[in-house]
Amino acid sequence: MKIRIRFIISFIILLLAEIAIGKWGRGFVRGFVGDVLVIPTIYMLLRATFFGKDSIFSVYVLPFLCYYLGWWAEILQAIGILDILGIKRGSILAIMLGGHFDWLDILAYLLGLYAIGIFLAFESKGISTILLKRQ
């Protein structure tokens, strides 16, 4: 399995951004921007570790699976999974799962999916060739 360094670097940068937002972010940044970055962070981790090769799955399917993972987190929040499982609020697991359902989180995850698409578009040779072509 070939691990791609650009995905590892992207994951580390996004993870550090998420940690910084979680520690120092307030208001809109913590409540929305952090959620936007969650989906690309998961995608970069999966591409770095399991799906390094460009394939139909890793480019066209995996981004949507990451997006739907966000949906599942929201569904679990809506049914009160923390209370059902007795997970203490404020614990790392509770922070990762989130505490309450919010429709804006779904929008944030969608924007995260678009961010993955933009990344993949700029990564492909066709787009970079067009953008860098001298006229």
DSSP 99: S
Mean pLDDT, residues 37-66 taken together: 91
Task: State the pLDDT at residue 56.
Answer: 87
Mean pLDDT, residues 74-83 taken together: 91
pLDDT exceeds cutoff 90 at 129: no
Buried b (16+ CB within 10 A) or exposed e, 10-41: bbeebeebbeebeeebeeeeeebbbbbbbbbb
Listed residue (31, 28, 46) closest to 102, CA to CA: 31
Task: State the pLDDT at residue 130.
Answer: 55
CA 73 to chain centre: 12
Q: What is the number of other CB atoms lying within 10 angstroms of the CB of residue 52?
A: 18
- 125: helix, strand or coil: helix
Q: Flag the least confident range among 24-33, 46-55, 62-71.
A: 46-55
Mean pLDDT, residues 42-69 taken together: 91
Higher pLDDT, 105 or 30: 105
Task: State the pLDDT at residue 17.
Answer: 95
**Spatial distance between the Cα atoms of 18 and 102, rounded to a whole number of angstroms:** 19
Task: State the pLDDT at residue 12.
Answer: 95
**Spatial distance between the Cα atoms of 31 and 35, rounded to a whole number of angstroms:** 7
Q: Please list, in sequence order, all residues whose beta carbon lies within 8 angstroms of the beta carbon of residue 1, skipping any fewer than 6 positions away.
A: 50, 52
User: Residue 36 sits in which domain range?
Assistant: 5-132
pLDDT exceeds cutoff 70 at 67: yes
pLDDT confidence band for 100 (50 / 70 / 90): confident
How many domains does the chain contain in total?
A: 1
